[in-house]
Structure formats: C-alpha cells, structure tokens
Amino acid sequence: MSSTYPNPLKVGVFLVEGGIQLLDVAPVDMLGMLQKEYVQGMAQMTNQSLPADKGFDIEYYFINETGQSPNKMTGGFKIDVTSSPGDRTPRIPTVSISPFPFPVSHTRTHTHHIQLTQAPNPPQHSITTCPPLDIILLGGPMPNYRPSPAVQQFLRTQLAHVSAFLTVCTGCLPAVFSGILEGKRATAPQGLIPMLREQAPGVEWVEKRWVRDGKGESSSSSSSSSSSNVLSSGFGQRGADFEGCVVWTSGAVANGQEMMGAFMRESFPELRAEVEMVLGASDIAVRGTEYGAA
C-alpha cells in the first residue's frame, strides 16, 4: 500500500480570527517532522542510514479570512498569515543551535510574534487567494465562534480538493456550520457534545479522543433527520458528497496530537518506520480513542 498524497505536500492551517490556542495548530509541526530534512536529521541522530528521498517536501499555507497579518492567538501570541512555496520549512529566522545535525532555531523576542517563513515579503493568503490544498487543519475558536458565509464556502470548496480534513477541539464548529460533518461520525470537547447533539443531530456525535470518518465510513444517522434543528440553529446545509476526503476530529485540545499521530500512521504507509521514529523521538503517545484507555 502506498500513499495517495503528492510530493510536495500542500498543507493548510486555517486560523480563525478572535484567538485560538497554539496547541490547536501545533499538530502541523508533527507533519513537519516528516520533511526530508528532518527525517534525515533524525536518522543521523540515531545512526541510521536512509535513502535521500525519504520524507516529504511540504508547502505550508497559514490562512485566515482576510489575509491580514498577524493573526492573534491566545497567550499573547501572533502568527503571520503567510505562505512561501519557495521556502517549505516553517521556522523562526534566528541563529541555529549546535550540535544538532539539522537546523534548530529559537527566538529571543519578548513580543511573542512568530514568523513562519524566512522568505522576504512572503505572500499573505486569505480565503480568496489560497490555492487548492492536500491537507487542511482547523484549530479551535472560542465556543461562540460563528463562521461567515465566505468562510463556510471556502471550507466546502477546499473539501473538494483535500484528501484529509482535520479539526482540533472546537475546530469542529466551523466544520459543523459549513455542513462538512453532516451525516458523519465526529467528536468534540466533551462539554459541548450535549449541545451539539441537540443542535446538529445529523452528525453522529461520540465521546472519544479522536474520530476518523471518510471513504465509505459514514454515520448511521440520517441527514434528513437534522434539517429543522440544524437550519434553525444557523448550521450550514449539507454540501456536496465529499467521499474522497477523510475527516478527522479530536476532542480536547491535547487530543489533536494523538489524532495527528494516528493520521500519520494511516496515511503514509510507505513512511511507517519514519513515522514511528519521529513519534518515538518526540515521545508522542497515540492512546486509544476511548477516554480512560491507555
């Protein structure tokens, strides 16, 4: 079995405005550990020899609705809304730390401003300028977040292109409003699930750390049962039939990393050894989906 993902891999992180946690978008860095440079560096650290083509080239796209930078995060952090296909490694332009065999950077700034590319004058991406993506990650907004019709349309349009659509914590809310989760099995923060079951009954809500649904794995719920509640609550109508996309949702914010680990194991079978290498080196445990299970 081989991966269906292209190389270079176009990975988009949608930054909702109004503040999301860094932990919500941190799982994208796990994908970054499968970049060729990182895989080779990890192999050197562990005295392994790998073919030079092991790993991916990755193009990162950090997107918000307007394309205006910086995008405010919680904790006083700000992220530039930028993308530069010519520089595929997101990093802070400061000095490297030795003796690691691959570049490791840190910042001495006190303003908590994170620059995610070294390219001069990188293009900023809004929902109207972002190209088709292969993978999209939605971090969690505040629970009262309501996406604009333009954001809903952007997400539905991207779903026609991406192979994987991943949400972390309350990142499920933009997906619900866009109709992306309708007829699917999904999870969310445990405290929100009772409300979501009432307002979006067309989604099969389950209390799990993370859930995968897609490519033939559909919810047992009938989409017709949800029409009155969903529409009266403002939730988006069901869009196209996105059978080519696998939708992953996670519960709490820290479960996003476990979800990403499971996604990497399933999605890149030809890199299984490298996936296990980076997960092991970072000590990211992918526990079972059930809360309370090891």
Query: Exposed (0-12), middle (13-18) or buried (19+): which is 124, by Cβ within 10 Å?
Result: middle
Overall average pLDDT of the 137-158 stretch: 92
**Residues 6 or more apart from 157 whose CB is under 8 A from it?**
none
Identity at 139, one-letter amino acid code: G
CA 201 – CA 204 distance, rounded (Å): 7
pLDDT of residue 213: 92
pLDDT in tens, 25-56: 999 999 988 988 888 887 777 777 777 778 88
pLDDT of residue 64: 86
CA 174 – CA 151 distance, rounded (Å): 8
Region of poorest pLDDT, from 18-22, 47-51, 213-217, 230-234: 230-234
Which has more pLDDT, 178 or 93?
Answer: 178
Half-sphere exposure of 232 (CA within 13 A, CB side): 7
**Could you tell me if 85 and 125 are in contact, meaning their C-beta atoms sit under 8 angstroms apart?**
no
Is 85's pLDDT higher than 50? no
| 236 closest CA partner among 213, 207, 202 | 202
The pLDDT > 70 percentage for the chain reads 73
Region of poorest pLDDT, from 67-71, 76-80, 193-197, 212-216: 212-216
pLDDT of residue 206: 96
| 135 closest CA partner among 289, 242, 246 | 246
Identity at 294, one-letter amino acid code: A
Is 169's pLDDT higher than 90? yes
Q: Whole-structure pTM over 0.85, yes or no?
A: no
pLDDT of residue 175: 95
Is 86's pLDDT higher than 70? no
- The label of the residue with tokens 């990182």 reads 38
Which has more pLDDT, 65 or 4?
Answer: 65
CA 277 – CA 34 distance, rounded (Å): 10
In terms of average pLDDT, the best of 224-228, 230-234, 253-257, 289-293 is 253-257
